[in-house]
Copies of this chain bind each other. A is one copy, B any other.
């Protein structure tokens, strides 16, 4: 079985031929040129599919299906893109149009975060799981839900907005308009805010901290200083991990999945992050005394997750 997976991003369109093990046999990408008419972009995607197979010396007829991961809400059944904030595809049935350009090849669609979660289930950190929940900790908090090895996107294609459940009623302002969302406490952006707040406190009190030596504050600043025994950084990390563990425990209590996956920039801390989170999650998991508990881990598919997940989503 060989399928094509396409990760349609705001900057690049990445495509790959994926085998039944989730290995990418051949991949290629082109700039999205998101400001161009959408017809041109879809033409580019069709060309990319043809080029992939010819350059990999695989007959196009050997490709079972084409899957597209999209940064927005989708209707998997109809193939329509419902809503994409950053590319001009809202309301377009990209599956139908692309299928016509590819001689009737079967084309499917998925939200990119959901596709990434599916990739982890088929050949990544959650391999073999039936049920998995993933959060991505970056500028915001994204998420994906896989139930019975299938993407769950709700009744309108917009489910799994896992960054937007409130963990602090009336708390920090969130980009979505609500206050106190998980995203406002668990994202890399939130960690940077907490780092800057602590730096201000240190500046006012005269307490020395290694974090002050960073030329640019990032999500790594506090982690790096913490690993060197910095007391102020320890306070930042403790605060961030407390909120993060709290949100994760809540999602585990709702889903009790086989595996809970953490992706996105902050997950680059890998086992170090898990070791900080696990004791706090152990305290708060409703099923903490159950024989079978959710395994917590970081994502492994990285930048290829969209391609792989898109392929498996069809």
Distance between Cα atoms of A185 and B152 in the complex (Å): 28
Contacts of A161 in B (CB 8 A): 253-254, 256, 286-287
Contact of A154 among B158, B162, B257 (CB under 8 A): B257
Q: Which residues of B contact A130 (CB under 8 A)?
A: 155
B-side contacts of A167, CB under 8 Å = 166-169
- Would you call A158 and B246 a contact (CB within 8 A)? no
Interface SS majority for chain A: loop
Q: How far is the CA of A287 from the CA of B177 in the complex (A)?
A: 12
Residue numbers in B under 8 Å from A169 (CB-CB): 167-168, 185, 242-243, 246
CA distance A169 to B167 in the complex (A): 6
**A251-B165, A284-B178 are contacts. A83–B246 as well, Cβ < 8 Å?**
no
Bound Cα distance from A161 to B255, whole angstroms = 8
Contact status A287-B156, CB under 8 Å: yes
Asked whether any CB of chain B lies closer than 8 Å to the CB of A249, the reply is: yes
| Given A168-B169, A284-B178, A286-B161, A155 and B254 contact (CB-CB distance below 8 Å) | no
Residues of B within 8 A of A129 (CB): 155
Q: Which of B154, B250, B258, B291 contacts A165 (CB 8 A)?
A: B250
Residues in chain A within 8 A of chain B (CB atoms)? 73, 82-83, 129-131, 145, 147, 152-162, 164-169, 176-178, 185, 242-243, 246-247, 249-251, 253-258, 283-284, 286-287, 290-294
Question: Besides the contacts A147-B147, A155-B294, what 5 more A-B pairs have beta carbons closer than 8 Å?
Answer: A156-B291, A156-B292, A164-B286, A168-B168, A168-B169
